[in-house]
């Protein structure tokens, strides 16, 4: 059997060898799922969400919204989710702390939504990982708009207290390209007293811009490379039907698994192909991977397609700061691909990985090294030498969902048996991952 014991108390046993074949439909895009719930909550009327990701992170967003009086129907795989919007200023003050779980997107976007709720008090917290992630990158820009947010270590860490204020418009340059920071500012801007412009160093994912426009916000995008976004407050948002495509960040595990496993032939269906997310496809193409986009189409304002991948020889990659925002969550699994490439792959400009759910540069270097990989870690990246025969080992997700699934992909090409501790972390973004893996190994 490919996978067994997928529970919290026992490491998961994964056997190497064999090949992957068949068709898989990855669950809904996590970024779009959070936004559909949040924007539906501040709209007027009902929002219907098809294909919402039924995983721990969006459940955290839904729970926070319910605690502020928003009706969100139960979130179950394959079922339409409805949100009854309360309008731009309709959140009730919650009687308890809002628990964002493991979800940085929940906490950061919520800060933007709550900062302008005059006279109301909110406290946001999360799990151990989230309480260790920097929040001043959001609190700082929001303070420029008049927000009052308190937290540990000078406002940088949760628990965070938000005391709702009248906000004013501002022009804000963000030092890091982060869709979470940009989106928090855009959401706060919806009820500010004047227009707000966010200027990023490089464009980050633009799901908020697309969806806010579809909900009726007055938003324009400009600057070189779409790096400047302006919101003019005023219009009420109107509930919409949102169709969530499959998550390219989840598809990435199958794309790399298909590219590195001898004999593999896979089709990943219904994958979101928003250009601000497709850096992974460009890098895999640079490596010579055999990937074809089938049935390219547009679904509710987002490009979508099916991806066919088969095994073949891989060349090393070179990834720098310019492309990192477009593949930031795919770097752990690209590190696995690098172990199978013919030469040294190089990653730089990726210091943001150190403040994700874990320090992903350190964790991937540590765990892949335990499997026999040759990895050199730098402050902002890594160099990985391939091809290296990976060996089965006792490894650990260190609680990070994307690390868990990346290491599972590595185990497919390792000799012998791998045991993976804390494999249940995958449920944060892809609850059916272990079942899909078992089925594709068939
Ligand atoms: C996300 C943005 C990215 C990404 C995260 C989801 C979003 O984070 O890593 O998984 O939904 O906006 P940053 O904004 O910190 O780059």
Last-in-domain residue among 189, 212, 243: 243
Domain match, 18 and 71 both: no
The 8-class DSSP code of residue 94 comes to P
Domain match, 174 and 321 both: no
Does 105 sit in the ligand 1 pocket, CB within 6 Å? yes
Domain match, 151 and 123 both: yes
Return the best residue to mutate from 32, 101, 104 for the ligand 1 pocket (most ligand atoms within 8 A of CB). Answer: 104
Total of domains in the chain: 2
Q: Give the residue numbers spanning the domain of 62.
A: 30-243
Report the run of H or E that residue 381 belongs to, with start and end.
strand 381-386
Domain match, 267 and 250 both: yes
* CB of 49 closer than 8 Å to CB of 82: yes
- Please tell me the residue having the least CA distance from ligand 1 atom 10: 329
Domain match, 313 and 357 both: yes
Nearest to 406 by CA among 351, 352, 354, 340: 340
Residue 3 maps to a domain = no
Residues 6+ apart with CB under 8 A from 360: 331, 332, 353, 354, 400, 402, 403
Per-residue pLDDT of the chain (442 residues; tens, 9 = 90+): 334 444 456 899 999 998 999 999 999 999 999 999 999 999 999 999 999 999 999 999 999 999 999 999 999 999 999 999 999 999 999 999 999 999 999 999 999 999 999 999 999 999 999 999 999 999 999 999 999 999 999 999 999 999 999 999 999 999 999 999 999 999 999 999 999 999 999 999 999 999 999 999 999 999 999 999 999 999 999 999 999 999 999 999 999 999 999 999 999 999 999 999 999 999 999 999 999 999 999 998 899 999 999 999 999 999 999 999 999 999 999 999 999 999 999 999 999 999 999 999 999 999 999 999 999 999 999 999 999 999 999 999 999 999 999 999 999 999 999 999 999 999 999 999 999 999 999 8
Whole-model pTM: value is 0.97
Domain match, 258 and 222 both: no
**How many angstroms does the Cα of residue 38 sit away from the middle of ligand 1?**
15
Q: How far apart are CA 379 and CA 270, in angstroms?
A: 36
The 8-class DSSP code of residue 245 comes to P
Q: How far apart are CA 236 and CA 217, in angstroms?
A: 7
Is the preceding omega at residue 159 within 30 degrees of 0, hence cis? Answer: yes
Domain match, 220 and 336 both: no
What is the CATH number for 42?
3.65.10.10
Domain match, 287 and 436 both: yes
Last-in-domain residue among 190, 217, 243: 243
Among 206, 247, 329, 396, the one annotated catalytic: 329
Residue 256 maps to a domain = yes
Ligand 1 atom nearest to 180, measured from its CA: 14
Residue 16 maps to a domain = yes
Q: Between the CA of residue 313 and those of 286, 310, 316, what are the distances in Å?
A: 12, 10, 10
Does 47 sit in the ligand 1 pocket, CB within 6 Å? no
Domain match, 214 and 295 both: no
Domain match, 261 and 368 both: yes
Residue 290: both structure tokens together: 């055999």
**How many angstroms does the Cα of residue 357 sit away from the middle of ligand 1?**
11
Ligand 1 atom nearest to 35, measured from its CA: 11
Return the best residue to mutate from 105, 356, 405, 425 for the ligand 1 pocket (most ligand atoms within 8 A of CB). Answer: 105
């Amino acid at each position: 059997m490919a996978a067994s014991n997928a529970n919290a108390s026992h490491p998961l046993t994964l056997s190497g060898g064999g090949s992957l074949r068949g068709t898989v439909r990855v669950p809904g895009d996590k970024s779009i799922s959070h936004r559909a719930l949040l924007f539906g909550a501040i709209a007027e009327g009902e929002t219907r969400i098809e294909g919402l990701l039924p995983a721990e992170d969006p459940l955290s967003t839904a729970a926070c919204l319910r605690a502020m009086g928003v009706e969100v129907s139960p979130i179950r795989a394959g079922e339409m989710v409805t949100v009854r919007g309360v309008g731009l200023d309709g959140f009730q003050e919650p009687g308890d702390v809002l628990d964002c779980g493991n979800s940085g997107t929940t906490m950061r976007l919520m800060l933007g939504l709550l900062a302008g709720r005059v006279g109301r008090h909110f406290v946001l917290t999360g799990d151990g990982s989230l309480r260790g992630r920097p929040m001043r990158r959001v609190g700082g820009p929001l303070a420029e708009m008049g927000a009052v947010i308190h937290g540990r270590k000078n406002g940088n860490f949760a628990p965070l207290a938000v005391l709702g204020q009248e906000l004013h418009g501002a022009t804000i340059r963000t030092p890091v390209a982060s869709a979470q920071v940009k989106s928090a500012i855009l959401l706060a801007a919806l009820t500010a007293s004047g227009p707000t412009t966010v200027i990023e160093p490089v464009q980050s994912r633009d799901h908020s811009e697309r969806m806010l426009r579809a909900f009726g916000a007055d938003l324009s995008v400009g600057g070189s490379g779409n790096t400047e976004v302006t919101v003019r407050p005023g219009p009420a948002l109107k509930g919409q039907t949102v169709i969530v495509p499959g998550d390219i960040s989840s598809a990435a595990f199958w794309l790399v698994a298909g590219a590195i496993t001898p004999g593999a032939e896979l089709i990943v269906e219904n994958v979101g192909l928003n250009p601000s997310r497709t850096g992974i496809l460009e890098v895999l193409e640079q490596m010579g991977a055999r990937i074809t986009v089938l049935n390219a189409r547009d679904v509710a304002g987002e490009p979508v397609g099916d991806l066919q991948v088969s095994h073949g020889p891989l060349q090393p990659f070179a990834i720098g700061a310019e492309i990192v925002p477009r593949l930031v969550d795919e770097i752990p699994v690209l590190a696995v691909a690098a172990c199978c490439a013919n030469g040294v792959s190089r990653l730089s400009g990726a210091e943001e990985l150190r403040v994700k759910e874990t320090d992903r540069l350190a964790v991937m270097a540590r765990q892949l090294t335990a499997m026999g990989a040759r990895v050199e870690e730098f402050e902002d990246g890594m160099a990985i030498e391939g091809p290296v025969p990976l060996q089965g080992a006792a490894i650990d997700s260190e609680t990070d969902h994307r690390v868990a699934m990346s290491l599972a992909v590595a185990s497919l090409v390792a000799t012998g048996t791998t045991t993976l501790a804390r494999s249940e972390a995958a449920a944060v973004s892809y609850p059916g991952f272990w079942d899909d893996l078992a089925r594709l190994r068939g």
